[in-house]
């Protein structure tokens, strides 16, 4: 498979979305304040992580853009999870654990820290790929 | 160097980069004028830069040097990358001042675009590109990028609404014929704004599920994502082609044939595989001949086909040849083992794409009636070296001002069919001379451009007043 011309902007979109979440999650860990957009943003990533699951056996319609389901984004999500040696179920559990209001605040912050680690890795990989595209010589 | 000093240095470095981009936006060369949308775009980037700089001024002192340092520090990299992305559009936009653009044509196209439902206030900023390619920076993508940057810096400016960006080759400022490709780029804007991709997503996934039903258990998620992206990419290109034909008529097809040198597929020798490469789908675009085939089908539907005298130009024969190709001749070798299934799924989606185009241009006059009424006269004027702005109609002696579609299509067909008749009427000029043909084509384009400009003045259009 090959990257397409939109690859660069897709990497950057993923990096920026990850950064927004890192900022919101850091705020939550440090002050217990929850950004009102955090739940929707985490849900979006949860959907994207689920798309990377090998168990999916249908092409899914993705009308609600952006859900980070593009080819390059799926690969980066996969790589980020592998770099943390976590499987996708652990990541999904961390993302949903942040929002679990039935859980105590300490557990939620633990989940938030794991999620931050994931998004940091994601942002880092996405930026690295973006900058490789910028520096690539066009043939 | 202490960590705090390092981050201060890095922040200042990014600050300097953002400031240099803003300076280009703010310090435009004296005497240069821009299309209003280009001005708006440059001002927006400058404003976003100002907010970014304000954020950077306090960033270095706010970053903790403890265990979360790296989490914060990486934000600089994200911001820098975002500004790299914006940077690439600034200088090409400042280069694209009105003297280096086919401004009357662009304004005429914008005026026509605004007749579409839902686009009465649309503006297009233009920038120059080095490649001989036309490029619409997907407006929704820029908007998304701007919104995302805005979400990580305080007090960002709002992105001006209804703003699209179009790149045109820097060398084609006076060209009329190749700039007939601009409507395709406007199609990308319409595609994004009308969320056509989202609307097609269920059709695309259903078609892929059918085409790959026997392999669904074995396909990897990234292969499925790749196939989905591929079909969306092809679908968008076909949408934009058909959109362009609705907007400007068959001259879009002629320009497509010219820029891809598709007349190379014609000839007398069989067995050389001339057609093979033109029948191959790429990673981003459907095969050239498949695209032209779709043009032909739409030209028939819209009534243009019967206006084409196929014997008079080899460009028209490319249309005929494409029309005659069955879907089975098209291939996608770079798709390897998935190529056949991808094509099958795509062919199934094409009727839905046509439906989306029809909905997008609903109510738009094709321009065919005026073309039929004035084309012969416009060509007669051009043959005599007269700018066809004001035409005295012989049947009722009324004065007519041919519109954009009539001028463009009459002009292009004159160029394809009757350039010789113009040259033969000029003393010491030879239609068999390449230099003379080039010279008179250039003049022909000037007359056509002037007629487009005059039409706006004579009919009181306000297209330029965005």
Three-state SS string over chain A comes to: CCCCCCHHHHHHHHHHHHHHHHHHHHHHHHHCCCCCCHHHHHHHHHHHHHHCCCCCCCCCCCCCCCCCCCHHHHHHHHHHHHHCCCCHHHHHHHHHHHHCCCCCHHHHHHHHHHHHHHHHHHHHHHHHHHHHHHHCCCC
Which of A12, A20, A52 minimises the CB distance to B152? A20
Any domain includes A36: yes
All residues at 6 or more sequence positions from B306 whose CB lies less than 8 Å from its CB, including other chains: none
| Six token digits for residue B288 | 């050239």
Q: Does residue B121 surpass a pLDDT of 80?
A: yes
Which segment of B26-35, B82-91, B145-154, B282-291 scores lowest on mean pLDDT? B26-35
- How long a stretch of residues is chain A? 139
- Which pLDDT value is given to residue A88? 63
CB count, 10 Å around CB of B358? Answer: 13
B215 assigned to some structural domain: yes
Residues 284-303 of B with CB under 8 A from A: 284
What is the average per-residue pLDDT within B443-448?
96
Q: A16, B221: Cβ pair inside 8 Å?
A: no
pLDDT in tens, B233-255: 999 999 999 999 999 999 999 99
Residue B229: list chain A partners with CB under 8 A.
4, 6, 70-71
Q: pLDDT value at position A139?
A: 40
Q: Which of A57, A63, A124 sits opposite B201 (nearest CB)?
A: A63
Which of A2, A16, A56 best probes binding to B when mutated, by most B CB atoms within 10 angstroms?
A16
- What confidence tier does B72 reach under pLDDT thresholds 50, 70, 90? very high
Note the pLDDT of residue A64.
Answer: 47
Q: Tell which B residues from 189 to 248 touch A, by Cβ distance under 8 Å.
A: 195, 197-199, 201-202, 204-206, 208-209, 212, 216-217, 219-230, 233
Q: Do B201 and A9 lie within an 8 Å CB cutoff?
A: no
Percent of chain B past pLDDT 90, that is, above it, reads 66
The span from the CA of B415 to the CA of B212, in Å, is: 47
pLDDT recorded at residue A44: 85
Backbone angles phi, psi at B288, to 5 degrees: -55, -50
| CB atoms closer than 10 angstroms to residue B419 | 18
Domain assignment of residue B51, yes or no: yes
DSSP 3-state of B399: strand
Checking B392-395 for CB contacts under 8 A at 24+ apart, the result is none
Q: Most A CBs within 10 Å: which of B75, B225, B333, B335, as the mutation test of the A interface?
A: B225
- What pLDDT, on the 0 to 100 scale, is given for residue A19? 95
B131 and B78 in a single domain? The answer is yes
Residue A73 neighbours by CB under 8 Å, 6+ apart? A10, A11, A13, A14, A48, B225
Distance from CA of B333 to the nearest CA of A (A): 12
For residue A58, being part of any structural domain is answered with no
Q: How many domains does chain B have?
A: 3
User: Are B225 and B346 part of one and the same domain?
Assistant: yes
Residue B22 pLDDT > 90, yes or no? yes
Beta carbons of A123 and A77 less than 8 angstroms apart: no
Which range of A67-71, B38-42, B46-50 scores highest in mean pLDDT? It is B46-50
Asked whether residue B7 is assigned to any structural domain, the reply reads yes
pLDDT greater at residue A43 or residue B52: B52
Q: Residue A1: inside a domain, yes or no?
A: no
B334 has pLDDT over 90? no
- pLDDT tops 70 at residue B226: yes
Task: Tell whether B317 and B446 lie within a shared domain.
Answer: no
Q: Is the Cβ pair A62, B78 closer than 8 Å?
A: no
Q: Name the DSSP letter for residue B31.
A: T
List the beta bridge partners of residue B123: B163
Instruction: Look at residue B173 in the predicted model and tell me its pLDDT.
Output: 76
Residue A130, in any domain of the structure: yes
Check CB contact under 8 Å for A16 and B334.
no
Which of B336, B360, B384 terminates a domain? The answer is B360
B346 and B394: one domain? no
Instruction: Please name the residues in contact with B57: beta carbons below 8 A apart, sequence gap of 6 or more.
Output: B15
Q: Is residue B317 part of a domain?
A: yes
| Eight-state DSSP code of residue B67 | T
For strand B163-169 and strand B391-392, is the pairing parallel, antiparallel, or unpaired?
Answer: unpaired
pLDDT in tens, A77-124: 988 888 876 666 688 888 889 988 889 999 999 999 999 999 999 999
B378 and B322 in a common domain: no
Q: Is pLDDT above 50 for A71?
A: yes
The whole-number average pLDDT for the span A59-84 is 77
Q: Report pLDDT for B135.
A: 59
Same domain? B285 vs B407: no
Task: Render pLDDT for B407-425 as a digit per residue (tens, 0 to 9).
Answer: 999 999 999 999 999 999 9
Q: Do A61 and B204 touch (CB under 8 A)?
A: yes
| Gap between the Cα atoms of B287 and B329, Å rounded | 10
Number of neighbours of residue B375 by Cβ within 10 angstroms: 20
Region class of B460: left (phi > 0), else alpha (psi between -120 and 50), else beta? left
Query: Is the dihedral angle over the CA atoms B49, B51, B57, B61 positive or is it negative?
Result: negative
Q: Are strands B391-392 and B399-400 parallel, antiparallel or unpaired?
A: antiparallel
Question: Residue B88: pLDDT band by 50, 70, 90 thresholds?
Answer: confident
CB A24 within 8 A of CB A115: no
| Minimum distance, in Å, between the CA of residue B150 and any CA atom of chain A | 10
Q: Is the minimum CB–CB distance between B283 and chain A shorter than 8 Å? A: yes
Residue A86 has what pLDDT? 66
List, in sequence order, every residue forming a beta bridge with B400; answer none if it has no partner: B391
| Tens of pLDDT, residues B268-312 | 666 556 677 889 999 889 999 999 999 999 999 999 999 999 889
- Looking at residue A2, its pLDDT comes to 43
Nearest to A2 among B82, B195, B283 (CB): B283
With b meaning 16 or more CB within 10 Å and e meaning fewer, what string describes A74-107? bbbbbbbbeebebebeebbbbbebbbeeeeeeee
Q: What is the C-alpha to C-alpha distance for residues A45 and A63, in angstroms, rounded to an integer?
A: 15
In this complex, the residue of A5, A8, A16 whose CB is nearest that of residue B284 is A5
pLDDT at B140: 57
A20 and B CB contact within 8 Å: yes
Report whether pLDDT(A26) > 80.
Answer: yes
Same domain? B355 vs B379: no
DSSP characters over B241-275: HHHHHHHH-THHHHHHHHHTTGGGG--S--SS-HH
- At B177 the pLDDT is 93
Give the domain extent around B271. 194-360
- Which of B 320-379 lie inside 8 A of A, CB atoms? 334
Q: Does B74 touch chain A (CB under 8 A)?
A: yes
Q: Does A67 touch chain B (CB under 8 A)?
A: no
Mark residue B404 as left, alpha or beta (left: phi above 0; alpha: psi -120 to 50; beta: remaining): alpha
Query: Is A57's Cβ below 8 Å from some Cβ in B?
Result: yes
Same domain flag for B203 and B240: yes
Q: What distance in Å separates residue B445's CA from the closest CA in chain A?
A: 33
Extended beta strands in B1-67, E state? none
Flag whether B14 is in a domain: yes
- State the pLDDT at residue B17: 96
Q: Which of residues 106-125 of B touch A (CB under 8 A)?
A: none
Distance of CA B58 to the CA centre of its chain: 41
Which pair of tokens denotes residue A124? 């880092």
Tell me, yes or no, whether A33 lies in a domain.
Answer: yes
pLDDT interval class at A3 (50, 70, 90) = very low
The answer as to whether B154 is a domain residue is yes
In a domain, B184, yes or no: no
Instruction: For residues B32 and B126, state if they share a domain.
Output: yes
Whether residues B408 and B270 share a domain: the answer is no
What is the overall mean pLDDT for chain B? 90
pLDDT digits (tens, 9 = 90+) for B160-196: 888 888 888 878 777 899 999 999 999 999 998 999 9
Could A127 and B284 be called an inter-chain contact, meaning their C-beta atoms sit closer than 8 Å? no
Asked if pLDDT for residue A1 goes beyond 70, the answer is: no
B134 contact residues in A (CB cutoff 8 A): none
Is the Cβ pair A74, B225 closer than 8 Å? yes
- B152 contacts in A (CB within 8 Å)? 16, 19-20, 23
CA distance linking residue B195 with residue B217, whole number of Å: 31
Q: How many domains does chain A have?
A: 1
Residues in chain B: 466
| Ranges A59-63, B65-69, B134-138, most confident | B65-69
The rounded radius of gyration (Å) of the Cα atoms in chain A is: 15
Q: Would you say residue B132 lies in a domain?
A: yes
Same domain (yes/no): B347, B260: yes
The verdict on a CB contact (< 8 Å) between A4 and B228 is no
pLDDT at A105: 92
CB–CB contact A23 B85 (8 Å)? no
CA distances from B398 to B365, B383, B401, B408 (A): 22, 21, 10, 21
């Amino acid at each position: 498979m090959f990257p397409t011309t939109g690859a660069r902007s897709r990497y950057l979109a993923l990096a920026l979305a990850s950064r927004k979440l890192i900022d919101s999650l850091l705020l939550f860990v440090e002050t217990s304040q929850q950004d009102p957009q955090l739940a929707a943003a985490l849900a979006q990533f949860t959907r994207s992580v689920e798309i990377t699951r090998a168990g999916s056996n249908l092409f899914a319609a993705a009308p609600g853009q952006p859900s980070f389901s593009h080819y390059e984004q799926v690969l980066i999500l996969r790589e980020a999870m592998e770099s943390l040696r976590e499987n996708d179920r652990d990541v999904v559990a961390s993302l949903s654990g942040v929002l679990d209001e039935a859980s105590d605040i300490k557990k939620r912050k633990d989940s938030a820290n794991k999620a931050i680690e994931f998004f940091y890795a994601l942002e880092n990989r996405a930026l690295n790929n973006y900058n490789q595209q910028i520096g690539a010589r066009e043939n | 160097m202490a960590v705090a000093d390092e981050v201060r240095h890095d922040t200042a470095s990014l600050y300097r980069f953002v400031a240099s981009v803003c300076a280009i936006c703010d310090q435009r060369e004296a005497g240069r004028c821009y299309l209003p949308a280009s001005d708006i775009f440059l001002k927006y980037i400058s404003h976003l830069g100002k907010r970014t700089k304000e954020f950077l001024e306090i960033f270095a002192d706010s970053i903790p040097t403890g265990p979360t340092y790296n989490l914060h520090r990486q934000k600089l990299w994200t911001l820098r990358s975002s500004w790299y992305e914006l940077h690439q559009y600034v200088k090409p936009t400042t280069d694209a001042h009105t003297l280096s653009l086919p401004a009357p044509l662009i304004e005429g196209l914008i005026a026509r675009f605004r007749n579409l439902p839902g686009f009465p206030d649309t503006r297009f900023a233009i920038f120059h590109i080095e490649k001989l390619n036309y490029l619409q920076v997907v407006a929704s993508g820029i908007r998304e990028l701007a919104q995302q940057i805005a979400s990580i810096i305080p007090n960002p400016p709002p992105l001006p609404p209804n703003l699209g960006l179009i790149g045109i080759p820097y060398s084609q400022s006076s060209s009329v014929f190749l700039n007939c490709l601009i409507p395709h780029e406007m199609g990308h804007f319409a595609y994004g704004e009308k969320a056509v991709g989202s609307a097609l997503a269920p059709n695309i996934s259903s078609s892929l599920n059918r085409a790959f039903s026997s392999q669904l258990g074995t396909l990897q998620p990234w292969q499925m994502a790749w196939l989905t992206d591929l079909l969306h990419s092809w679908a968008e290109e076909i949408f934009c082609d058909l959109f362009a034909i609705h907007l400007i008529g068959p001259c879009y097809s002629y320009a497509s044939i010219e820029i891809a040198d598709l007349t190379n597929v014609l000839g007398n020798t069989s067995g050389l595989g001339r057609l093979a490469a033109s029948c191959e789908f790429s990673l981003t675009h459907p095969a050239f001949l498949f695209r032209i085939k779709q043009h032909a089908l739409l030209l028939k539907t819209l009534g243009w086909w019967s206006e084409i005298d196929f014997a008079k130009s080899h460009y028209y024969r490319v249309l005929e040849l494409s029309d005659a190709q069955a879907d089975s001749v098209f291939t996608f070798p770079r798709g390897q083992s998935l190529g056949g299934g991808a094509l099958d799924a795509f062919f199934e989606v094409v009727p839905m794409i046509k439906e989306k185009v029809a909905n997008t241009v609903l109510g738009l006059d094709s321009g065919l009636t005026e073309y039929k009424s004035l084309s012969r006269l416009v060509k007669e004027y051009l043959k005599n070296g007269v700018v066809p702005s004001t035409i005295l109609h012989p049947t009722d002696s009324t004065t007519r001002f041919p519109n954009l579609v009539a001028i463009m299509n009459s002009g292009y067909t004159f160029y394809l069919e009757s350039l010789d008749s113009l040259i033969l009427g000029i003393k010491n000029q030879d239609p068999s001379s390449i230099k003379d043909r080039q010279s008179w084509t250039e003049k022909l384009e000037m007359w056509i451009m002037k007629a487009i400009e005059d039409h706006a003045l004579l009919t009181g259009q306000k297209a330029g007043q965005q």
